[in-house]
Amino acid sequence: GIEAEQDRKRRLKRHDAATIIVVGSGLAGMSAAIAAADARAKVILLEKEPKTGGNSAKATSGINGWGTDTQAEQGVADEERLFERDTFRSGKDARADYCLVRTLSSKSADAIHWLKHRHGIPLTVLSQLGGHSSKRTHRAPPVDGRPVPIGWKITKTLKDTIDANYADSIEVRCGVTVTKLLHTVDEKGVKTVVGVEVNGKGKLYADSVVLATGGFGCSQSSDGLMARFRPDLLSTPTTNGAFATGDGVVLGEEIGAELVDMEQVQLHPTGFIDPADPSNPTKYLAPEAIRGSGGILVNSEGGRFVNELDLRSVVAGAIQKHCSKYKSEDGYEGPAFAWCVLGQQAQELFGPSTLSFYKEKLGLFTDCEDAKAVAALIGCDESVLLHTLREYQEAAQLGTCKQTHKDVFPSLLTPDSTGLVVARVTPSTHYTMGGLNINPSGEVQERIESIVGSHRHIRGLFAAGEVTGGVHGSNRLGGNSLLECVVFGRIAGERAATV
């Protein structure tokens, strides 16, 4: 439920004002900073990059939530058990921590309410992403016909809120790198974080520290986290910014924090290959909404090979198994890739203005008049592609595809479809599920040997967002990353301010 504001204010008045350091200024960091300031703390928000936002600003799929007023207004029935079931199924192997998933689920409607009604972000568009049993992924509607990138919208709004309303309680410092966690150890071995070292020399002291530094999806050095835990992915393209090197994970590990699920790295199935620069290791993300609008995937022979709306891990694995490697005329040979084909209905559902950004501005889509032109672009036998499209049309009419078990067909695509657009997509390192072990209060854990338990939280150290592990198991459900940032960012910020 949502705590009444008067009850919340009464509760927070019981605590002395604290000084909090938040490391990282993506959505988790800004959510933590605002929550801590609302709990009467003085907050220093540190960011190593020249500007705030991090990878959160690049997110496009949306933010999940069940039981929201947006769902109610649109007549969408959803339940806690369905959200949690979908999250666990996506996580596979029972890796996701039950308590963390329950917290994520039970706080999801409150997170949407906080963004929508406290900060005025119009989360009024719903979509059903792969792996979901209901429409629960929230985005903002286009403005003047132009798409609104939801991650950018949320992070910009929160930063504007901090600048306008929190000048006296939140100090933002960019271009500052945290190089060490300052901590003490008592006679019983209990650790307490008391501040941070910055830029290798200066020291800042605080009552608590919140790590919100993101994941390690672009940790490509020979001694980095990817090399330690998933060396097989070092040459894989990435959708992450160059700053995503797992700094907070390293900081926590240095003082004994436990790491969990570090080998679990998610490949997003569709990173755009730029035909003008195919060897660039950093890819623009081809949003889930492209396939959610009815885009289909075919290989270089012109055949479908997967349910396009299956889990990210399933779609990525299918591309790697059934598709050829990318080869360009200049001799470059890249990873396995698929062709993504959108008919006119899918283009309308995806949004003409959004499509125009990717097609006209970035040059990532190619226009094809009909199936014959698509076959010529792909280099496959036209009859094979026509057979594929005919089978897809028949499956859509039946409501199920016997080959891929697809049973949701957002739009029509037939052998006679015209005005098609086609893109090249490849699996790319997108999200790291592993990181610091936290409990539902956002407290960072260390492993101990004790007759009363195997874990103990490190006092004064909290974490939220992709820097943590345990929430997503082996594979993150689309739309849960922004939700995780808001839910655990707010929890960690308030908890850090009131211990």
Active-site annotation, residues: 268, 291
CB 241 within 8 A of CB 233: no
Residue pair 273/264 in contact (Cβ under 8 Å)? The answer is no
- In 156-277, at which residue ranges do the beta strands (DSSP E only) sit? 170-174, 178-185, 191-198, 202-205, 208-211, 259-260, 265-272
Assign 457 to helix, strand or coil: strand
Q: By C-alpha distance, which of 176, 181, 178, 177 is closest to 253?
A: 181
Which tokens hold the place of 108?
A: 């999801």
- Helix (H) or strand (E) holding 437, with range, is strand 435-437
Distance CA 322, CA 315 (A): 10
- On the 0-12 / 13-18 / 19+ scale of CB atoms within 10 A, 424 is buried
Quick check: 21 and 209 in contact, CB under 8 A? yes
Closest to 258 (Cα-Cα) out of 453, 34, 418: 453
- Which residue in 276, 213, 275, 277 sits closest to 245, CA to CA? 213
Task: Tell me how far apart the alpha carbons of residues 95 and 85 are, in angstroms, rounded to a whole number.
Answer: 13
Structure token digits, residue 459: 């006092």
Percentages helix, strand, coil for the chain (3-state, rounded to 5) are 35, 25, 40
Distance, in Å, from the CA atom of 97 to the CA atom of 484, rounded to the nearest integer, reads: 13
The residue written with tokens 């396995």 in the block is 336
d(CA 474, CA 212) in angstroms, rounded, equals 21
Q: How far apart are CA 369 and CA 247, in angstroms?
A: 48
How many Å apart are CA 148 and CA 315, to the nearest integer?
A: 26
- Axis-axis angle for helices 480-498, 150-165 (nearest 10): 20
- Rounded to 5 degrees, what angle do the CA atoms 359, 361, 365 make? 15
| Per-residue CA distances from 460 to 184, 208, 211, 450 (Å) | 11, 4, 11, 21
